[in-house]
């Protein structure tokens, strides 16, 4: 099986508004619904499991019933962090969907609604060569390192810098093995699944991402997303 895992427990305060950003309207549909639709449009993705904050559980159920009433979409509790939400999603998939340790998880941001079948294809194929892979795009801007946030300390060569996107793709069994081996501090400091795997020395496969695979974080990102939809 191939399961799309969507951690949707964040508050999304940088976007503004009363609701988290994944619930904001994007041309007539909530962002998270567009994300789920994009993932489930791939013929090899069997189901989507969302780790959701309990405060928004009923809202998510209502949105699924309205927009995706006959789709294989399931809800489970989100965790206190992104990686804990992924653990909850995998535990749910193993117990309720009867996944096995060799089944594939596509971990994807709830607010990246423009993931394509080509990108999902490449992530799935990469599982033949890696324990984990992630979508990524080369950095095109000059980047600086600053310790104090006021002055630049160094300028890394941008040809070696990549911007990480999602999906991040791995197998259920390897995730549970890695996650259970880490200390609480390590789990808290890891910002994504790739960070967890690097702590245990795994190679992280880089899959060619897409500039259009944007993450909707700030209000101006919604303007860009609407323009993308209008151009399709």
pLDDT higher than threshold 90 for residue 65: yes
Indicate the number of domains in the chain. Answer: 1
Segment 128-170, tens digit of pLDDT:
999 999 999 999 999 999 999 999 999 999 999 999 999 999 9
* CA nearest to 91, candidates 81, 78, 80: 78
CA 4 – CA 40 distance, rounded (Å): 8
The answer, yes or no, to whether residue 16 has pLDDT greater than 80, is no
- Please name the helix (run of DSSP H) or strand (run of DSSP E) that holds residue 171, with its range, or none: strand 162-171
14: nearest Cα among 111, 135, 151? 111
Is residue 11's pLDDT more than 70? no
Closest by alpha carbon to 218, among 56, 12, 8? 12
Residue 154: the pLDDT is 96
Tell me if 20 sits within 8 A of 12, measured CB to CB: yes
Which pLDDT score, from 0 to 100, does residue 9 have?
73
Domain holding 51, by residue range, is 2-231
pLDDT at 18: 80
pLDDT interval class at 12 (50, 70, 90): low
pTM of the model: 0.94
Looking at residue 10, what is its pLDDT? 62
Say whether pLDDT at 232 is over 90.
Answer: no
Looking up residue 165, the CATH number of its domain turns out to be 3.90.550.10
CA distance 215 to 111: 6
Question: Dihedral (C-alpha) 113, 117, 123, 124: value to the nearest 10 degrees?
Answer: 130
Radius of gyration from C-alpha coordinates of the chain: 18
Residue (of 225, 228, 192, 230) closest to 15 by Cα position: 225
Residue 138 has a pLDDT of 97
Q: How far apart are CA 114 and CA 228, in angstroms?
A: 9
Q: CA-to-CA distance for 3 and 49, rounded, in angstroms?
A: 7
What's the CA gap between 212 and 112, in Å, rounded? 9
């Amino acid at each position: 099986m191939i399961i799309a895992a969507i951690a949707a427990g964040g508050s999304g305060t940088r976007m503004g508004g009363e609701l988290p950003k994944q619930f904001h309207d994007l041309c007539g549909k909530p962002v998270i619904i567009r994300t789920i639709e994009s993932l489930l449009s791939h013929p090899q993705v069997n189901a989507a499991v969302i780790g959701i904050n309990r405060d928004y559980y009923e809202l998510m159920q209502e949105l699924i019933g309205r927009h995706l009433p006959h789709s294989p979409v399931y809800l489970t509790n989100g965790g206190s962090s992104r990686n804990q939400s992924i653990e909850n999603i995998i535990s749910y998939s193993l117990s309720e969907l009867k996944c096995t340790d060799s089944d594939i998880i596509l971990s994807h941001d709830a607010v990246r609604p423009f993931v394509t079948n080509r990108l999902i294809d490449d992530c799935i194929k990469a599982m033949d060569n890696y324990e984990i892979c992630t979508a990524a795009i080369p950095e095109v801007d000059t980047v600086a390192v600053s310790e104090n946030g006021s002055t630049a300390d160094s300028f890394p060569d941008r040809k070696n810098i990549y911007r990480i996107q999602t999906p991040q793709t791995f197998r259920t069994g390897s995730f549970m093995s890695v996650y259970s081996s880490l200390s609480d501090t390590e789990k808290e400091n890891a910002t994504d699944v790739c960070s967890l795997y690097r702590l245990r020395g795994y190679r992280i496969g880089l899959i060619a991402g897409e500039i259009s695979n944007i993450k909707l974080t700030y209000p101006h990102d919604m303007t860009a997303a609407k323009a993308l939809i209008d151009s399709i």
